[in-house]
Amino acid sequence: MAQPTVPVMPQARAKGSITLSPDHSSRECYRMDYLEEFPVLFIDDELHSDTAEGRASREIVKELKEEDFPVIEALTARDGVHAILSHPHVCCVIIDWDLTPEPADGMLTAADLITLIRERNPKVPIFLNTEKLAISAIPLSVISRIDGYIWKLEDTPAFIAGHVKRAAKNYLSDVLPPFFRGLMDYVEDYRYSWHTPGHMGGVAFLKNAAGRIFYKFFGENTLRADLSVSVPELGSLLEHSGVVGEAERKAAEVFGADRTYFVTGGTSAANKIVWLGTVTPGDLVLVDRNCHASVMHAIIMTGAIPVYLIPARNDYGIIGPIRSSEFRPEVIAEKIRRCPLVEGPASQPVRLATITNSTYDGICYSTGWIEERLRDVVAYLHFDEAWSAYARFHPLYAGRFGMRRSTDPADPTVFATQSTHKVLAAFSQGSMLHVRQGRGAVDHARFNEAFMMFTSTSPQYTIIASLDVATKMMSGHSGKFLVEEALEEAIVFRKKMVAVAEEIRMNPLPDEKYWWFTVWQPDCIMGQETETNDHLLQEDAGCWLLNPDEAWHGFDGIEERYAMLDPVKVTILTPGVGVGGGMEERGIPAAIVTKYLRESGIVVEKTGYYSFLVLFTLGITKGKSGTLLAELFRFKALYDGNSPLEEVFPDLVRRYPARYGGLGLAEICGEMHEFLRSESITEVVRNVYSRLPEQVMTPAEAYLRLVRGEVTQVPVSSLEGRTVAVMVVPYPPGIPVIMPGERCGPETRAIVDYLGILQEFDTRFPGFESEVHGVDVVMEDGQRVYYVYCVAE
């Protein structure tokens, strides 16, 4: 007999579960089945004392535990602080007003604890444990921040526990955001489903061995929450109705937008929605050449004519900001005049400008500065903020995000597309598209047609729920402190790296062992004895500015306060590149370091030739950064001892024994560095992006030729003079070196040379092959040869 699609009867409720109300139209309908996850924090220095007050406190704790509330006990103010930091999900806090300050705690008082808690969570219930006669001595600043009092020697423990329980339930009833609350309610109703998806709440997976493993791995709730648009209680993402519409409206409020759209196809889809909703064939657009491939795809899809804004690059190949001079009206006008694809440039308006903020390497712009310069140039301004969705929530980033306040109706309409899943807490592919209305305001009904083009009629509800929860996590005071923790960890790591370098410098070592990894950052970031304290580094953006008179960043053409480095994006530099960009005799290519880290369980975000990027996001912990530091130490020891590759990279040696057998770690680093040095890779990479190829046809026209088969494959050695039909994107750095419809000539020969170097590198160092999108790799006589589709002549 076939199994039913869902259980006929509800499952037994978990211990401690509470049903507040069966009425699903009420906010109190949420059924808290997870009470055991939310403890009560009891801070009382007499909890373990053999006194009347100590015994009364223990009785209250006993009553709470019998009500299935876990209790965290803290005997000092400092213990209370640690408990709050490690258990931010407490549902109630009880503090003894007569808590004795101790020198070891820094003389923290109950009032100090209340201030700290309220800075982190303005809503969690706080009760003061005191005497009635003592209330008159409690300052108004404290009274206004608490929810009530406990008279533990006058009321019964059961009464006090009930009072706490009621407050905790009321608090928890408002914890969940609208869509996730509705999704949980629907899933827990155990309804028979006669609609898609076909697995029917996961039951279909139970009919097969592989399916059962799948079911067990992901769990019942994940599969039961995979629902269909046929569920009216959850509204429609395409129509932005019901609780999903409510969730989007709440996100707009939290992220400072006039309107927010939940996007389940990642920021790749969000970027295309912006473009398809604003740009038409033949429109002129300004595009950051340092943009994501999805923006380049949008250029193809819309048939737009791109005019590029050129970013700076330094000697490490780190992508800097667009030079401020690129935004001058006269410079933009000259770019348009010189664009061979523009007819009648004097009368051609610019429809949209797209800027990457922050860049992949963590450079944030002054968005107000950019808006001011483009105010009379474009009607629509799009900031691709895939990597900086958190910027609004901390004062360090003030004025460096798209959804900043604007009261000038002459400002352009601003879009900000954010990868919530990358840097906040959401499922992969969960992104948001924010709109701030300005000149050329967006009409929702028309814009939604573009939204529907890139949104499935069967969206993944768990992605939507994760976006809803991410919004709730960033609302109120919570957002600031979540970002603050990431900043703290990043700054501690940065300073520790500097301190380690100083310690190595002070210790007597042979010349060949006198090295350490450095961090790309302002000179004011010192070690543990720095005059720049942690608080200043966390709060003052001036510490992180790319000032024009400072050499550390390596970029020219930077205006004062125009751009800053995001502290949570940490670029670690490996030896090999000297001051001024010249390559040193000895070096350690970053690809070898990050391969070692990857095989040690540490995956970095991006690897350059002599640099790699690590992200300190909301999910960072002290253990993670400590592990990274330990593995860097271990790599140094292995390198200094020239450890055999059979021990460092055993899989690599097994796969390519003839190439790597018998070599040591220092030897392969030396070989790879010598190749890159002989090819002057730092100079080549800088030249590749300093001048753009010739525009022969629009990207859309080149793509049409590709689809029609009016193309031929050309080896990169013969690429000069040919018009390419695809986007060629080497990783690192993940930025196109050539776009569809462009042609390399003698002035841009560096692009052809660069691709040739990558091709040769892949042949010489198997296992470390370059990732280049847009090329086909063919083995010819034992050599890797790159082929690129070009328009047929």
Q: Report pLDDT digits (tens) over 658-714.
A: 999 999 999 999 999 999 999 999 888 888 888 899 999 999 999 999 999 999 999
- Pick the residue with more confidence: 357 or 626? 357
Would residue 480 show up in a list of annotated catalytic residues for this protein? no
- Pick the residue with more confidence: 391 or 171? 391
Amino acid residing at 212: R
Q: Which residue has the tokens 């990783």?
A: 731
Does residue 415 register a pLDDT over 90?
yes
Residue pair 54/105 in contact by the 8 Å Cβ criterion: no
Residue pair 176/472 in contact by the 8 Å Cβ criterion: yes
Does residue 343 register a pLDDT over 50?
yes
Does residue 601 register a pLDDT over 70?
yes
What per-residue confidence (pLDDT) applies to 175? 84
Residue pair 94/40 in contact by the 8 Å Cβ criterion: yes
CB atoms within 10 A of CB 512: 11
SS3 724: strand
Would residue 292 show up in a list of annotated catalytic residues for this protein? yes
Instruction: Give the per-residue SS3 of 428-440.
Output: CCCEEEEEECCEC
- 781 burial (CB, 10 Å; 0-12 / 13-18 / 19+) is exposed
Query: Best-predicted range by mean pLDDT among 140-149, 177-186, 256-265?
Result: 256-265
Note the Cα 1 to chain centre separation in Å: 48
Would residue 444 show up in a list of annotated catalytic residues for this protein? no
Residue 66 has which token pair? Answer: 């019998």
Spell out the residues 6+ positions from residue 194 whose beta carbon is closer than 8 angstroms to its own: none
Residue pair 46/152 in contact by the 8 Å Cβ criterion: no
Spell out the residues 6+ positions from residue 176 whose beta carbon is closer than 8 angstroms to its own: 30, 184, 469, 472
Residue pair 538/285 in contact by the 8 Å Cβ criterion: no
Does residue 284 register a pLDDT over 80?
yes
Choose the weakest-confidence range: 185-199, 206-220, 747-761, 765-779.
Answer: 185-199
Residue 438 has which token pair? Answer: 């300005």
Q: Among residues 356, 433, 432, 434, which one has the least CA distance to residue 400?
A: 356
**Phi, psi values for residue 182, rounded to 5°:** -65, -40
The one catalytic residue among 199, 394, 422, 569: 422
What per-residue confidence (pLDDT) applies to 756? 95
Q: Which residue has the tokens 């980033």?
A: 397
Residue 179 has which token pair? Answer: 């869509």
Residue pair 120/84 in contact by the 8 Å Cβ criterion: yes
DSSP codes of every residue in 583-636:
BPSS---HHHHHHHHHHTT---SEE-SSEEEEE--TT--HHHHHHHHHHHHHHH
Name the E strands within 357-412: 363-365, 378-384
**Phi, psi values for residue 278, rounded to 5°:** -135, -20
Name the E strands within 63-201: 71-74, 92-96, 126-129, 148-150
CB atoms within 10 A of CB 107: 11
Q: CA–CA separation, 414 vs 363, rounded Å?
A: 19
Q: CA–CA separation, 694 vs 107, rounded Å?
A: 69
Residue 78 has which token pair? Answer: 């400092």
Beta bridge partners of 276: none
Q: Among residues 416, 7, 42, 381, which one has the least CA distance to residue 251?
A: 416
The one catalytic residue among 384, 468, 566, 753: 384
Q: Among residues 600, 628, 607, 634, which one has the least CA distance to residue 616?
A: 628
What per-residue confidence (pLDDT) applies to 733? 66
SS3 41: strand
Q: CA–CA separation, 71 vs 93, rounded Å?
A: 10
Q: CA–CA separation, 418 vs 333, rounded Å?
A: 30
What per-residue confidence (pLDDT) applies to 33? 52
Q: CA–CA separation, 476 vs 88, rounded Å?
A: 14
The pTM (predicted TM-score) of the whole model is 0.87
Taken in order 520, 523, 529, 534, the sign of the CA dihedral is negative
Per-residue pLDDT band at 526 (split at 50, 70, 90): low
Q: CA–CA separation, 514 vs 440, rounded Å?
A: 59
User: Do strands 431-436 and 259-263 pair parallel, antiparallel, or not at all (unpaired)?
Assistant: antiparallel
Residue 20 has which token pair? Answer: 């507040």
Largest CA-CA distance found in the chain, in angstroms, rounded:
95
The CA–CA distances, whole Å, from 552 to 106, 492, 518, 607 equal 38, 20, 12, 20
Q: Which DSSP symbol is given to 577?
A: B
Does residue 648 register a pLDDT over 60?
yes
Does residue 148 register a pLDDT over 90?
no
Query: pLDDT tens digit string along 17-31?
Result: 333 333 443 334 444
Q: CA–CA separation, 774 vs 755, rounded Å?
A: 11
- 54 burial (CB, 10 Å; 0-12 / 13-18 / 19+) is middle
What per-residue confidence (pLDDT) applies to 504? 87
Does residue 640 register a pLDDT over 80?
yes
**Phi, psi values for residue 453, rounded to 5°:** -65, -25
Name the E strands within 357-420: 363-365, 378-384, 413-418
Give the chain's end-to-end CA distance (angstroms, integer).
66
User: Do strands 563-565 and 363-365 pair parallel, antiparallel, or not at all (unpaired)?
Assistant: antiparallel
**Phi, psi values for residue 9, rounded to 5°:** -115, 145
Per-residue pLDDT band at 717 (split at 50, 70, 90): very high
The one catalytic residue among 163, 272, 292, 553: 292
As a whole number, the mean pLDDT across the chain is 88
Per-residue pLDDT band at 528 (split at 50, 70, 90): very low
**Phi, psi values for residue 407, rounded to 5°:** -115, 5
Across residues 649-663, what is the average pLDDT? 96
Per-residue pLDDT band at 599 (split at 50, 70, 90): very high
Q: Which residue has the tokens 């493993």?
A: 213
Q: CA–CA separation, 231 vs 228, rounded Å?
A: 6
